[in-house]
Amino acid sequence: MRQIVLDTETTGLETSLGHRIIEIGCVELIDRRITDNHWHYYINPDREIDDGAFEVHGISNDFLQDKPRFQEIAQEFLSYIDGAELVIHNARFDVGFLDYELGQLEGESTTIEQHCRILDTLVMARQKHPGQKNSLDALCRRYEIDSSRRSLHGALLDARILSDVYLAMTGGQTALGLDEFDHGHDLGSKMTGRQPVSRNGPLPVWLGNEASEQAHLEYVKFLREQCDDPVWE
Protein backbone atom coordinates (compact mmCIF):
# COMPACT_ATOMS: atom_id res chain seq x y z
CA MET A 1 0.00 0.00 0.00
CA ARG A 2 1.40 3.39 -1.00
CA GLN A 3 0.56 6.46 1.06
CA ILE A 4 1.85 10.00 0.74
CA VAL A 5 1.90 12.16 3.87
CA LEU A 6 1.51 15.73 2.65
CA ASP A 7 1.70 19.25 4.04
CA THR A 8 1.67 22.71 2.46
CA GLU A 9 2.57 26.25 3.44
CA THR A 10 0.70 29.21 1.93
CA THR A 11 0.73 32.98 1.60
CA GLY A 12 -2.43 33.22 3.74
CA LEU A 13 -5.56 31.41 4.78
CA GLU A 14 -8.11 31.98 2.01
CA THR A 15 -7.99 31.08 -1.66
CA SER A 16 -10.97 33.44 -2.11
CA LEU A 17 -8.52 36.26 -1.39
CA GLY A 18 -6.08 34.97 -3.98
CA HIS A 19 -3.70 33.29 -1.55
CA ARG A 20 -1.36 30.67 -3.02
CA ILE A 21 0.77 27.69 -2.06
CA ILE A 22 4.46 28.45 -1.43
CA GLU A 23 5.72 25.06 -0.25
CA ILE A 24 4.70 21.41 -0.68
CA GLY A 25 6.31 18.61 1.30
CA CYS A 26 5.56 14.91 0.83
CA VAL A 27 6.81 11.80 2.62
CA GLU A 28 6.20 8.35 1.11
CA LEU A 29 4.98 5.36 3.11
CA ILE A 30 5.07 1.90 1.56
CA ASP A 31 3.25 -0.71 3.66
CA ARG A 32 3.58 1.59 6.70
CA ARG A 33 7.31 2.13 6.23
CA ILE A 34 8.81 5.57 5.61
CA THR A 35 10.94 5.56 2.47
CA ASP A 36 13.58 7.96 1.16
CA ASN A 37 11.35 8.88 -1.80
CA HIS A 38 10.16 12.23 -0.48
CA TRP A 39 9.06 15.15 -2.69
CA HIS A 40 9.58 18.79 -1.82
CA TYR A 41 9.40 22.17 -3.56
CA TYR A 42 9.29 25.83 -2.65
CA ILE A 43 7.03 27.74 -5.04
CA ASN A 44 6.96 31.35 -6.21
CA PRO A 45 3.35 32.52 -5.66
CA ASP A 46 3.67 35.78 -7.62
CA ARG A 47 2.11 37.67 -4.72
CA GLU A 48 3.01 38.95 -1.26
CA ILE A 49 2.94 36.75 1.83
CA ASP A 50 0.70 37.90 4.67
CA ASP A 51 2.54 38.96 7.84
CA GLY A 52 0.57 36.42 9.87
CA ALA A 53 1.55 33.59 7.53
CA PHE A 54 5.21 34.64 7.60
CA GLU A 55 5.17 34.45 11.41
CA VAL A 56 4.02 30.83 11.13
CA HIS A 57 6.43 29.48 8.50
CA GLY A 58 9.19 32.11 8.22
CA ILE A 59 9.32 31.90 4.41
CA SER A 60 9.98 35.32 2.91
CA ASN A 61 8.99 36.88 -0.40
CA ASP A 62 12.67 37.39 -1.29
CA PHE A 63 13.47 33.71 -0.69
CA LEU A 64 10.79 32.64 -3.18
CA GLN A 65 11.78 34.97 -6.04
CA ASP A 66 13.89 32.39 -7.91
CA LYS A 67 11.66 29.40 -7.14
CA PRO A 68 9.47 27.71 -9.79
CA ARG A 69 5.79 28.59 -10.29
CA PHE A 70 3.20 25.94 -9.52
CA GLN A 71 2.50 25.32 -13.20
CA GLU A 72 6.15 24.37 -13.67
CA ILE A 73 6.02 21.55 -11.12
CA ALA A 74 2.33 20.57 -11.35
CA GLN A 75 2.77 17.55 -13.62
CA GLU A 76 5.68 16.21 -11.60
CA PHE A 77 3.60 16.59 -8.44
CA LEU A 78 0.56 14.81 -9.91
CA SER A 79 2.74 11.98 -11.19
CA TYR A 80 4.29 11.57 -7.74
CA ILE A 81 0.97 11.33 -5.85
CA ASP A 82 -1.05 9.52 -8.53
CA GLY A 83 -2.83 6.43 -7.20
CA ALA A 84 -1.63 6.86 -3.63
CA GLU A 85 -3.63 7.62 -0.51
CA LEU A 86 -2.87 11.13 0.73
CA VAL A 87 -2.52 11.45 4.51
CA ILE A 88 -3.10 15.09 5.52
CA HIS A 89 -3.82 16.85 8.81
CA ASN A 90 -6.84 19.10 8.17
CA ALA A 91 -7.12 17.91 4.58
CA ARG A 92 -9.83 20.40 3.72
CA PHE A 93 -7.32 23.24 3.93
CA ASP A 94 -4.48 21.67 1.93
CA VAL A 95 -6.71 20.00 -0.67
CA GLY A 96 -8.64 23.25 -1.09
CA PHE A 97 -5.40 25.09 -1.92
CA LEU A 98 -4.14 22.32 -4.19
CA ASP A 99 -7.42 22.24 -6.11
CA TYR A 100 -7.28 26.03 -6.40
CA GLU A 101 -3.78 25.84 -7.88
CA LEU A 102 -4.81 23.08 -10.28
CA GLY A 103 -7.79 25.19 -11.32
CA GLN A 104 -5.44 27.98 -12.42
CA LEU A 105 -3.68 25.75 -14.94
CA GLU A 106 -4.40 25.93 -18.65
CA GLY A 107 -6.12 22.99 -20.28
CA GLU A 108 -8.47 20.39 -18.83
CA SER A 109 -9.14 20.96 -15.14
CA THR A 110 -8.47 18.26 -12.57
CA THR A 111 -8.78 17.86 -8.80
CA ILE A 112 -6.73 16.02 -6.20
CA GLU A 113 -9.52 13.49 -5.60
CA GLN A 114 -9.32 12.46 -9.25
CA HIS A 115 -5.79 11.23 -8.56
CA CYS A 116 -5.80 10.09 -4.93
CA ARG A 117 -7.80 8.86 -2.01
CA ILE A 118 -7.60 11.23 0.96
CA LEU A 119 -7.27 10.39 4.65
CA ASP A 120 -7.67 13.30 7.11
CA THR A 121 -5.75 12.67 10.34
CA LEU A 122 -7.54 15.58 12.03
CA VAL A 123 -10.90 13.83 11.51
CA MET A 124 -9.33 10.58 12.72
CA ALA A 125 -7.87 12.26 15.81
CA ARG A 126 -11.20 13.90 16.71
CA GLN A 127 -12.88 10.49 16.53
CA LYS A 128 -10.21 8.86 18.70
CA HIS A 129 -9.83 11.75 21.16
CA PRO A 130 -13.16 13.64 21.33
CA GLY A 131 -13.13 16.84 23.31
CA GLN A 132 -9.33 17.08 23.32
CA LYS A 133 -6.87 19.24 21.44
CA ASN A 134 -5.93 17.53 18.20
CA SER A 135 -3.47 19.90 16.56
CA LEU A 136 -0.27 18.34 15.26
CA ASP A 137 1.63 19.70 18.26
CA ALA A 138 -0.96 18.26 20.66
CA LEU A 139 -0.78 14.85 18.96
CA CYS A 140 3.02 14.91 19.16
CA ARG A 141 2.77 15.38 22.91
CA ARG A 142 0.08 12.70 23.25
CA TYR A 143 2.00 10.11 21.26
CA GLU A 144 5.44 11.21 22.48
CA ILE A 145 6.69 12.20 19.04
CA ASP A 146 9.75 14.45 19.05
CA SER A 147 8.82 17.77 17.43
CA SER A 148 11.65 19.81 18.99
CA ARG A 149 12.89 20.94 15.54
CA ARG A 150 9.51 22.52 14.80
CA SER A 151 10.13 26.10 15.98
CA LEU A 152 8.59 27.22 12.68
CA HIS A 153 6.25 25.29 10.40
CA GLY A 154 7.80 23.75 7.30
CA ALA A 155 5.94 21.53 4.86
CA LEU A 156 8.50 18.71 4.59
CA LEU A 157 9.32 18.70 8.30
CA ASP A 158 5.63 18.73 9.24
CA ALA A 159 4.94 15.89 6.78
CA ARG A 160 7.72 13.85 8.39
CA ILE A 161 6.35 14.51 11.89
CA LEU A 162 2.82 13.72 10.73
CA SER A 163 4.12 10.41 9.34
CA ASP A 164 5.26 9.43 12.85
CA VAL A 165 2.01 10.66 14.39
CA TYR A 166 -0.12 8.77 11.86
CA LEU A 167 1.79 5.52 12.40
CA ALA A 168 1.46 5.91 16.18
CA MET A 169 -2.24 6.80 15.96
CA THR A 170 -3.10 3.84 13.80
CA GLY A 171 -1.08 1.39 15.88
CA GLY A 172 0.68 -1.66 14.54
CA GLN A 173 4.30 -2.56 14.06
CA THR A 174 6.07 -0.07 11.81
CA ALA A 175 9.45 -1.83 11.55
CA LEU A 176 10.87 -5.30 12.01
CA GLY A 177 13.46 -4.09 14.49
CA LEU A 178 16.39 -5.44 12.48
CA ASP A 179 18.27 -2.20 13.10
CA GLU A 180 18.38 -3.10 16.78
CA PHE A 181 20.44 -6.19 15.92
CA ASP A 182 22.65 -4.23 13.54
CA HIS A 183 23.58 -1.85 16.34
CA GLY A 184 24.33 -4.59 18.84
CA HIS A 185 21.09 -4.25 20.83
CA ASP A 186 18.85 -7.25 21.24
CA LEU A 187 15.21 -6.77 22.17
CA GLY A 188 14.83 -10.36 23.31
CA SER A 189 17.59 -10.10 25.89
CA LYS A 190 16.00 -6.95 27.32
CA MET A 191 12.67 -8.72 27.78
CA THR A 192 13.91 -12.03 29.20
CA GLY A 193 17.34 -11.31 30.65
CA ARG A 194 18.92 -13.98 28.41
CA GLN A 195 22.23 -13.38 26.68
CA PRO A 196 22.03 -12.93 22.91
CA VAL A 197 23.08 -15.86 20.75
CA SER A 198 25.87 -15.28 18.25
CA ARG A 199 24.59 -14.32 14.81
CA ASN A 200 26.90 -16.99 13.39
CA GLY A 201 25.20 -19.76 15.39
CA PRO A 202 21.68 -21.19 15.34
CA LEU A 203 18.70 -18.90 14.94
CA PRO A 204 17.89 -17.54 18.44
CA VAL A 205 14.47 -18.26 19.91
CA TRP A 206 13.43 -15.82 22.62
CA LEU A 207 10.99 -17.06 25.21
CA GLY A 208 8.42 -14.60 26.48
CA ASN A 209 7.97 -13.79 30.13
CA GLU A 210 4.92 -12.67 32.09
CA ALA A 211 5.48 -9.01 31.24
CA SER A 212 5.79 -9.63 27.50
CA GLU A 213 2.70 -11.88 27.51
CA GLN A 214 0.68 -9.17 29.25
CA ALA A 215 1.95 -6.57 26.77
CA HIS A 216 0.88 -8.86 23.92
CA LEU A 217 -2.63 -9.29 25.35
CA GLU A 218 -3.02 -5.52 25.78
CA TYR A 219 -1.87 -4.96 22.20
CA VAL A 220 -4.33 -7.51 20.84
CA LYS A 221 -7.07 -5.75 22.81
CA PHE A 222 -5.99 -2.45 21.23
CA LEU A 223 -6.14 -3.99 17.75
CA ARG A 224 -9.65 -5.30 18.38
CA GLU A 225 -10.73 -1.74 19.23
CA GLN A 226 -9.28 -0.46 15.95
CA CYS A 227 -10.68 -3.17 13.66
CA ASP A 228 -14.33 -3.93 13.03
CA ASP A 229 -13.62 -7.56 12.10
CA PRO A 230 -10.08 -8.75 12.94
CA VAL A 231 -8.95 -11.44 10.51
CA TRP A 232 -7.59 -13.68 13.29
CA GLU A 233 -11.08 -14.01 14.76
**Catalytic positions:** 153
Cβ–Cβ under 8 Å, residues 42 and 63? yes
User: In this structure, are strands 21-30 and 33-34 parallel, antiparallel, or unpaired?
Assistant: antiparallel
Cβ–Cβ under 8 Å, residues 28 and 38? yes
Residue 146 φ/ψ region, left for φ over 0, alpha for ψ in the -120 to 50 degree band, beta for the rest: beta
Q: Closest Cα to residue 80, out of 48, 41, 128?
A: 41
What is the number of alpha carbons within 13 Å of residue 120 lying toward its C-beta? 14
